[in-house]
Chains A and B, each alone.
Chain A
Amino acid sequence: QKEVEQNSGPLSVPEGAIASLNCTYSDRGSQSFFWYRQYSGKSPELIMSIYSNGDKEDGRFTAQLNKASQYVSLLIRDSQPSDSATYLCAARTPSGGSYIPTFGRGTSLIVHP
């Protein structure tokens, strides 16, 4: 069964610190990876997508992909209380000629002032 695993947390960091969120996936055929942020009672919102090994930076966010280790991470620099949310990792995994979007269970991040 194709799985995306995340630590449920909560991960608690002080304001201004770097928050590090991690994700592993089981299907080596997975090619595309995404990080979503979901505030309580709201819908998931795409933050980053990454397709190739290495780092991808967008503002305070950096996504990292290591296909050999089947590992994806998200770093949030200068964390703000407004970053407090659940972060969902997702992978697009191949299945019967199509691709199934598979989500992890999410990591709850708390940024305290």
Chain B
Amino acid sequence: GQNIDQPTEMTATEGAIVQINCTYQTSGFNGLFWYQQHAGEAPTFLSYNVLDGLEEKGRFSSFLSRSKGYSYLLLKELQMKDSASYLCAVTDSNYQLIWGAGTKLIIKP
């Protein structure tokens, strides 16, 4: 079966760095997405990785290792507004998006 695992909840301190991990087992792979979702709102796109390595975009970076079926989202200089759920999603061989359950990130002052 297809499966995506990510921690249910994480807590970090304002100004710090946090890494959210995602492991996946899917039938085929055509890219991995990270989305941010604030409570009561739709997801917003953060990053897309299809090749191994690190993609940096401002305070957010995303890493992919296809051989390990592993990705992480790195958030630097955390701000209170970063409190949200972070969703990992993988596009399989049929270009279907398989979603993880999301990681709720709580930022404390």
A binds B: no
User: Which B residues contact A (CB, under 8 angstroms)?
Assistant: none
User: Which A residues contact B (CB, under 8 angstroms)?
Assistant: none
